[in-house]
């Protein structure tokens, strides 16, 4: 394997234009907040499952950091339109910061952040969070539409971006379903749920998380494929397999949840989930092997459009 590979990968992931740098700075800040809350969670005895837990600022901080950095990477590979990209970047950064900031605030107040509508102050915070999620969703829809109208020139990048954003759209839909489940729980039982479930044991956030974070896997595969020795058609085929295998993961995770089974319960859905995960691992193993093979073809440019 080429000794310069790590430096090359960092160069491929480094933000180039100002909107991407703005989002990357926000991602770095939220990742630092997540690390801080990892320590707080440890000090708190790893209280992970309660409705009021420092796991929430930890998980949401890291999740939003990944999302911001990834959208920045995507904006760098779309046509250079500074005003549009800047508007999307700043709107996404501010709305996500307010949302995760409110989640963090509630954790430090010792109050549940989600579905806590039993008192006026908590309800107002939950409504504000919902508004910010709506604004974030509009930003993500805008990026998807832009990617469809003026897609990245590199066909492998195009597949990674559009495939990942399409999964994010499904994740937003699942998020709305989670909101409905959570609100119904509060209305019928008068308490805030520790975890929103479908049926007896289906963890609703399981497919939600799967849908939101497939794009990072696709971007990683696209970046690695650029440095590999596969022919262009083989690169597209390799990424296509990973995208479809990950889509199958989402389908099986959703089936597992909707039928009321926990993520690790043995069902036909979990069997399909396992097979799909193996297919993804095999895909990355093949990409890894191509990284160390003799060079057969010059990699296409992956620099910003």
CB within 8 Å of 262: residues ≥ 6 apart: 201, 202, 203, 256
pLDDT, position 292: 66
Closest CA to 205 of 244, 262, 265, 138: 262
Contact 250, 167 (CB under 8 A): yes
Global confidence as pTM = 0.90
Other CB atoms within 10 A of residue 298 CB = 7
> Could you read off the pLDDT of 5-45 as tens digits, one per residue?
677 778 888 899 999 999 999 999 999 999 999 999 888 88
**DSSP designation for 198:** E
Here the contacts of 82-90 (C-beta below 8 Å, separation 24 or greater) are 82/17, 82/18, 82/19, 84/146, 85/17, 85/19, 85/20, 86/18, 86/19, 86/22, 88/19, 88/139, 88/142, 88/143, 89/19, 89/20, 89/22, 89/23, 90/19, 90/22
pLDDT, position 11: 81
Contact 294, 229 (CB under 8 A): yes
CA atoms within 13 Å, Cβ hemisphere of 41: 21
Contact 269, 256 (CB under 8 A): yes
pLDDT, position 152: 93
Three-state DSSP at 197 gives strand
Tokens encoding 189 = 């039982």
Taking the mean position of all CA atoms in its chain, how far away is CA 122?
27
**DSSP designation for 195:** S
Other CB atoms within 10 A of residue 291 CB = 16
**DSSP designation for 54:** T
Contact 134, 99 (CB under 8 A): no
Tokens encoding 237 = 């085929």
pLDDT, position 291: 80
State how far the Cα of 63 lies from the Cα of 83, in Å rounded to an integer: 26
Tokens encoding 302 = 């992956």
State how far the Cα of 60 lies from the Cα of 98, in Å rounded to an integer: 12
pLDDT, position 276: 97
State how far the Cα of 203 lies from the Cα of 221, in Å rounded to an integer: 28
Calculate the CA dihedral of residues 245, 247, 248, 249 and round it to 10 degrees: 90
State how far the Cα of 259 lies from the Cα of 207, in Å rounded to an integer: 13
Residues in the chain predicted with pLDDT less than 70, given as ranges, are 1-3, 5, 292-305
Other CB atoms within 10 A of residue 195 CB = 13
């Amino acid at each position: 394997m080429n000794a310069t590979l790590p430096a090359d990968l960092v160069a491929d992931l480094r933000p180039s234009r100002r909107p991407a740098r703005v989002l990357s700075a926000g991602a770095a800040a939220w990742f630092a907040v997540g690390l801080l809350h990892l320590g707080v969670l440890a000090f708190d005895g790893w209280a992970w499952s309660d409705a009021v837990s420092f796991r929430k600022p930890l998980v949401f901080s890291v999740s939003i950091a990944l999302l911001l950095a990834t959208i920045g990477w995507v904006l760098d590979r779309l046509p250079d339109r500074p005003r549009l990209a800047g508007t999307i970047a700043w709107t996404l950064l501010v709305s996500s910061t307010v949302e995760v900031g409110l989640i963090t605030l509630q954790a430090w107040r010792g109050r549940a952040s989600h579905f806590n509508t039993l008192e006026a102050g908590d309800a107002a915070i939950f409504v504000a969070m919902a508004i910010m999620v709506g604004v974030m969703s509009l930003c993500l829809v805008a990026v998807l539409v832009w990617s469809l109208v003026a897609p990245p020139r590199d066909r492998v990048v195009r597949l990674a971006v559009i495939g990942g954003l399409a999964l994010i759209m499904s994740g937003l839909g699942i998020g709305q379903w989670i909101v409905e489940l959570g609100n119904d729980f509060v209305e019928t039982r008068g308490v805030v749920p520790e975890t929103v479930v479908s049926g007896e044991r289906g963890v609703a956030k399981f497919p939600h998380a799967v849908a939101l974070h497939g794009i990072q896997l696709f971007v990683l595969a696209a970046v690695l494929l650029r440095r590999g020795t596969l022919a262009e058609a083989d690169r597209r085929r390799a990424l296509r397999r990973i995208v479809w295998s990950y889509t199958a993961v989402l389908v099986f995770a959703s089936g597992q949840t909707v039928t009321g089974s926990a993520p690790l319960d043995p069902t036909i859905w979990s069997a399909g989930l396992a097979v799909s995960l193996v297919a993804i691992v095999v895909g990355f193993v093949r990409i890894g092997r191509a990284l160390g093979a003799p060079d057969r073809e010059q990699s296409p440019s992956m620099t910003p459009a």
